[in-house]
C-alpha cells in the first residue's frame, strides 16, 4: 500500500501526540465480515481522530478485532469505531 522507507528516512507520525491509550476487543458480526465496504466505513470513521489507531483482525464473521488507539482522543476514537462495529457497519 505505502512506500517502503529505511528507518533513517521515516517521517515522524504526526498522529501520535501523547501517552493516552485505549483499546477494545469486539466480534465482527455482520454477514460479510470486514470486507471492502465495511473497511472503508471504518477508515472514514477513524480519519478525523488525531490518535494513532491500530487494528488487529481476522477476515471471517465472528472474528474478534482489537482496536487500539494512542493520542489525545484515543478513548473517543475507540468508542466511535466500536460503535460502528457493533452496528455491523450499518449493513444489517
Active site residues: 35
Does residue 75 sit in helix, strand or coil?
A: helix
Query: Is residue 33 within 8 Å of 87, Cβ to Cβ?
Result: no
What residues form DSSP beta bridges with 67? 24, 55
Amino acid at each position: 500500500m505505502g512506500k517502503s522507507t529505511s528507518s533513517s528516512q521515516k517521517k515522524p507520525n504526526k498522529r501520535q501526540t501523547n501517552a493516552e491509550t485505549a483499546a477494545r476487543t469486539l466480534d465482527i458480526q455482520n454477514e460479510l465480515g470486514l470486507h471492502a465496504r465495511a473497511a472503508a466505513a471504518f477508515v472514514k470513521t477513524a480519519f478525523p481522530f488525531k490518535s494513532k489507531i491500530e487494528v488487529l483482525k481476522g477476515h471471517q464473521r465472528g472474528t474478534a478485532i482489537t482496536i487500539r488507539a494512542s493520542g489525545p482522543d484515543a478513548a473517543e476514537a475507540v468508542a466511535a469505531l466500536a460503535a460502528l462495529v457493533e452496528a455491523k457497519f450499518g449493513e444489517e
